[in-house]
Amino acid sequence: MTFWARNLGIKSSGLAAATLAASLMTAASGHAQSADTLALRLDWAPHGMHAPIFLAVEKGWFKRANLNVTIEDGNGSVITAQLVGAGQFDIGHASLSSVAIALSKGMPVISVAGFIRKSDMGVLVPADSGWKTVKDLEGKKVAYTAGSLEGPFINPFFGASKSKVDLINVDAANKIGTYMTGTADAVISTVPYVLPLVASKRPATGIFFADFGLDLPGFGLFASHPKLREKGPAIKRFTSIVAGAWPYVFDGHQDEAVQAIVKNRPLLPLDPKVLRAQIDLYKPFFHTEATKDKPIGIQDAKDWASTIKAMETAEVIKTGSKPTDYFTNDYIDTAYFAQISK
């Protein structure tokens, strides 16, 4: 069975696809001049995790669903969470851990699709260093960004070793360069994202936060409650298309997705090999034990309960919240998964 087939998540895919196709044709013919507009804010400049979004643009999947989507590059998940929470964008693509923290600070945001459901955050160390634990980092220079996702988790991750680690706080845009030039011995970031970027100059491997009790969800889609009330049906179509595009990408269309990213950002110095490597390296992070039999994008309360516990222990969020405060699966219609393959 292909990766695509395993992720349809519906028993009567033919009927569902036919029903969906009919509804989309009706929408296209009846509202061709009034497509629903959605403003999307990304977490950063285009990278491998944006593959299904740009592919949907190129394949016309958004247009077919009567959506007019504008895509703005970001400069960090934390800022994207704040902007979407403030209503400046209809939907965001960012680390859902940053979204959870934004929610705890009063932002009316909620995750509508979780893609990286196994934590991808960690410390990148030289591949030949042999460093595998926090204790191995004692006496080493470790670059991080206080205002980024990792900032609130520095204390719980390093624990008693923190005073023995030389932590270098650098701007997010300069963090990777600090590692590649050797100014820092290691760097904290999303491991699958960074590995291909440093591979040619300073190959690395990762020490993951999750291995030390910090189960933090990675990239996904989220929106504010006011926007869901205002544009719920349109956001549901968008979320369903992006979630449904991932199985298509993984079923042998990785290079097609890479070309879609490059084509949509012709002025950026994007390396197709890096983009492809990011897609491949992220694949193992799409499922946890709780979600291994569920379609991509669907989230599970058990995973969020673990995240809440980790964040409460780290005193990043207040006690008393519950998983459903942070996520909903109501904005993924798996019927779109079958339609995308057409």
pLDDT above 50 (res 171): yes
Please give the average per-residue pLDDT across 262-272, as a whole number: 98
β-bridge mates for residue 40, sequence order: 71, 91
What's the pLDDT score for residue 14? Answer: 40
Per residue in 2-60, pLDDT (tens digit) is 444 445 443 334 434 443 444 444 444 444 558 999 999 999 999 999 999 999 999 99
Q: Residue 175: pLDDT band by 50, 70, 90 thresholds?
A: very high
Helix/strand/coil percentages in the chain, nearest 5 = 50, 15, 35
What's the pLDDT score for residue 33? Answer: 54
Question: Which residue ranges form the domains of the chain, and what is each CATH number?
Answer: 3-118+216-340 (3.40.190.10), 121-212 (3.40.190.10)
CA geometry: angle 199, 132, 118, nearest 5 deg: 75
Phi/psi of residue 292, nearest 5 degrees: -60, -25
DSSP secondary structure letters along 279-332: HHHHGGGS--TTTTTS-TB---HHHHHHHHHHHHHTTSS-TT--GGGTB-STT-
Per residue in 201-260, pLDDT (tens digit) is 999 999 999 999 899 999 999 999 999 999 999 999 999 999 999 999 999 999 999 999
Please give the average per-residue pLDDT across 76-103, as a whole number: 97
Per residue in 141-162, pLDDT (tens digit) is 999 999 888 998 999 999 999 9
pLDDT above 60 (res 96): yes
Sign of CA dihedral 146, 149, 151, 152: positive
What's the pLDDT score for residue 338? Answer: 82
Per residue in 178-204, pLDDT (tens digit) is 999 999 999 999 999 999 999 999 999
